[in-house]
Homo-oligomer: A and B are copies of this chain.
């Protein structure tokens, strides 16, 4: 199984993308992990290290793909530390 990680922050853009994109992934090939960066703040740095710059983002086999444009991680970092 290959690994897909879907990073989001609960925004409407994120949820729409989650519904459509994750349903479209081949579940026989990909094990999908869904991470809400508002709830799992420790994952923000891990996401950044994978090249994630905004959410929603889908990481396929370690390669980040940014979907539409929801929220920049920089803004999210500021929000969670306030």
Contacts and interface: CB of A to CB of B under 8 A. Distances in A.
Interface in A6-53: 16-17, 20-21, 23-30
A65 B63 contact: no
Contact of A20 (B20, B23, B61): B61
Interface size class of A (residues with CB under 8 A): 20 to 34
A63 B29 contact: no
A35 B67 CA distance: 19
A52 B27 CA distance: 27
A30 B26 CA distance: 10
Interface in A52-68: 60-61, 63, 65-68
A5 interface: no
